[in-house]
Amino acid sequence: MPLPSQPLLKMGFLTIGVFDGSDPRPGHESTLEVIELGEQLGFDSAWLRDRHLQYGISSPVAILAAASQRTRRIELGTAVIPLGWENPLRLAEDLATVDILSGGRLNPGVSVGPPMNFDRVKQVLYPDTAEVEDFSYHRVERLLRFVRGESVTDFSGKEGIEVFSDRIQPYAEGLAQRMWFGAASVKSAQWAGEHGLNLLASSVVRAEQSEDFAEIQLSHIRAFRARHPDGDRARVSQGLVVIPTDTATSAQREKYQRYAESRTARTAAPQGPARMMFAVDLVGTSDEIAEKLYAHAAFREINEVAFALPFSFEQEDYVQILTDMATRLGPALGWHPAG
């Protein structure tokens, strides 16, 4: 079990960025304000989830481009972009552009597999190619080649007054080393390690050999590092939902507890045909949460976290939660604010 003398080195947070469909601007603006607050509080990173045809951020790269101009230090990540919705070449261009704008702070996290509800959207997403689209790891490999600056065409040089490059532009040096993979299975964790990616240890995992969430997440971390060139030094960021209540009002504490209780049933046993397991939401004082984390098998193997903010809370709730994380929970874990 880690001791305070073995501190948590990096602490980040993750948000989905909900908004009102009839008036979407305030929700997007509040997400940017949350990221700005995170930087002011000393968080090391801010991460955005990705939602399509829902009332959550559908274009995290665009939001992070805006955030890059309103912050100076905090790292900006995606956790995760499902590549089934993306053209890897165009995404590589967008990622490189935002990384340049941010001064090298972008940490793109991606995942594979068919888009959610693919049968319902395939005729509008891929009207001519739905049956032949490759949603496997090869899609990530294509993205990595483009981000690394490998050639995408056999032509470069001048044609008339136009000048062409044989690799994506702009090229963002160092971005390839900041690519992350969201793994929900041992196989995915091993693949990420073999390909030199960083690992986002998900708060939603497949119950393959165990029905204990911490044991499953731990198995992913160890499988990843066993295959990664950097071994035990390979970067892993753990994902969990954490809600400290130190400075919360009584009404907020009641709301947080109801929220956690409404989600508890899905943490007790594998869900659906894919046997997905969900992490328990950790609600309580920072000292109580720290004690639970130190008892968590996967937490004992990492020194970076990206704590997920709950969905559908109010802005004042996020301010209280983030402030308690930075001023109470982080120090209880040996973490020190950046800057």
Q: Please provide residue 11's backbone torsions phi and psi, each rounded to the nearest 5 degrees.
A: -125, 125
Residues 153-164: tens digit of each pLDDT = 999 999 999 999
- Backbone region of residue 16 per phi and psi (left: phi > 0; alpha: psi in -120 to 50; beta: other values): alpha
Q: Length of the chain, please?
A: 339
Please answer whether residues 269 and 286 qualify as being in contact, where contact means their C-beta atoms are separated by less than 8 angstroms: no
Query: So what CATH class is 10-152+164-240+304-312?
Result: alpha beta
Question: Residue 209 has what pLDDT?
Answer: 87
Cα–Cα distance measured from residue 114 to residue 314, given in angstroms and rounded to the nearest whole number: 32
Instruction: Kindly list the domain boundaries of the chain, sorted by start residue.
Output: 10-152+164-240+304-312
- pLDDT value of residue 2: 47
User: DSSP labels for 131-175?
Assistant: TT---SHHHHHHHHHHHTT--S-S--EEETTEEE-SS-SS--TTG
pTM of the model: 0.96
Strand extents, DSSP E, 173-297: 180-183, 198-201, 204-206, 236-244, 276-278, 282-284
Residue 106, classed as helix, strand or coil, is: strand
Residues of the chain with pLDDT under 50: 1-2
